[in-house]
Amino acid sequence: MSTQNVRTLGAQETRLLNTLSAAGKAVFTVEDAQAAGDGKVANLPRLLSHLTRKRWLLRLERGKYLILPLSAGMEGLYTAHEFVLASRLVEPYAIGYWSALHYDGFTEQVPQTVMVISPARRRDVSVEELGFHCHFVTIAAERFFGVVTVLVDDQPVVMTDPARTVLDCLDRPDLCGGMVEAAKGLYGYAQRLDAQPAQLTAYAGRLGNQAILKRLGYLAEQFDLAARFPNAGWSDAIAAWRRDLSAGFVRLDPRLPAAGPYDRAWWLRLNVPTSHLVSWMDT
C-alpha cells in the first residue's frame, strides 16, 4: 500500500471514527465500536483490522484500540500521553508510586514505566510503537482510597493524592526508585502549603502497615520536620506515630538485606546509611 493512500477512509470507517471521537473514545473497546455503529457495522473485526493496517488505529491489547488523529500524519506517527493511555486499561485505577511521585514534583527522576494501582487484577501492558509500558499493582479493595482526579492533556486522569503517594512509596520503595526517592517524597510533601501530617496518620491507619509508620517517623525526625515547619503539626504527628508503634524490627529499605545498626526508637534496622538518605539535600 502506498503512503499516499495509507490513511484514506471509506464512508463506514469515517462514520465509526467520527462517532467514537465525538463520544470522547480516543481509546475504545470492541464493545464501544459495536455501540457506536449501532449494530449496523458489517464485519466489525475486519473493519477494525483494516483501520489498524491503515494506521488510523493502534491496537493496545486484545479488543482495545487507540484512535490515531490527523496530527499523526500520513504514517500514523503519534505519541499519546502515557497517563491517558494507562487510564483506559483498567477500572477502577489510580496512577501511583513513582509516576505520581514525579507528577507531584517530589522527584526529578523520570520513570520509564507508568505505575497503576487497582483492585482489579490484570497483566502489564507494553506498546513498543509508543514506547509505552504500564505496570499494574493489585491492591485490596479497602485500600483503594486517597485518590484525586487531575487533567492531563485535557483528559481526566485519576491519581493517588500526595499524602497517599508518600505512604505508598514508603511501603514499596521498589516501586518508586528506591528509599532515597521515597525520602524525597516525604520532604517534598512537607514543603507543600497544604501538607497535613494528620492526613498521613489517618491514611497509615487505614493501610494497617506498621512498617510505614516506622519509616515515616524515622525520616521525619532525620529531616527535622517539626522544627523546619513548626506550624504544620509535625511535632504532634511524630509523637503519635512513636506512641502507636508495635514492637518488632523492620528494615528501613525492605529491598535490601537485614544489615546495619538498630534504631530502637522507631524499631528499624538501618540498612541504608542516614547520610545517603539526606545527601541530596545539599545539592
Domain with residue 35: its CATH number is: 1.10.10.10
C-alpha Rg value of the chain to the nearest Å: 23
pLDDT bin (cut points 50, 70, 90) of residue 192 is very high
> Is 127 or 143 the better-scoring residue by pLDDT?
143
The answer on 124 and 34 residing in a single domain is no
> Is 27 or 2 the better-scoring residue by pLDDT?
27
Q: Is the pLDDT of residue 1 over 60?
A: no
The answer on 218 and 132 residing in a single domain is yes
Residue 1 in any domain: the answer is no
Global pTM value: 0.83
Q: Is the pLDDT of residue 177 over 90?
A: yes
At 244 the pLDDT is 84
Compute the distance between CA of residue 90 and CA of residue 65 in angstroms, rounded to an integer: 14
The answer on 215 and 243 residing in a single domain is yes
> Is 115 or 81 the better-scoring residue by pLDDT?
115
Residue 6 in any domain: the answer is no
Residue 171 in any domain: the answer is yes
At 197 the pLDDT is 97
> Which structural domain range is residue 267 located in?
82-282
Residue 181 in any domain: the answer is yes
At 2 the pLDDT is 36
Q: Is the pLDDT of residue 74 over 50?
A: no
**Looking at 46, 72, 98, which one is the last position of a domain?**
72
CA dihedral 188, 193, 198, 203 (to 10 degrees): -50
Q: Domain count for the chain, please give it.
A: 2
Residue 191 in any domain: the answer is yes
Collect all residues with Cβ–Cβ distance below 8 Å to 277 and sequence separation of at least 6. 179, 180, 183, 219, 222
CB 95 within 8 Å of CB 83: yes
The answer on 152 and 16 residing in a single domain is no
The answer on 221 and 136 residing in a single domain is yes
The answer on 182 and 218 residing in a single domain is yes
The answer on 112 and 90 residing in a single domain is yes
Residue 183 in any domain: the answer is yes
Least confident of 13-17, 232-236, 252-256, 260-264: 13-17
Helix, coil or strand: residue 8:
coil
**Looking at 35, 50, 72, which one is the last position of a domain?**
72
**Looking at 48, 72, 96, which one is the last position of a domain?**
72
The answer on 144 and 15 residing in a single domain is no
Q: Where are the beta strands (DSSP E) in 1-63?
A: 27-29, 57-61
At 73 the pLDDT is 43
Q: Which helix (H) or strand (E) holds 151?
A: strand 147-152
Q: Is the pLDDT of residue 5 over 50?
A: no
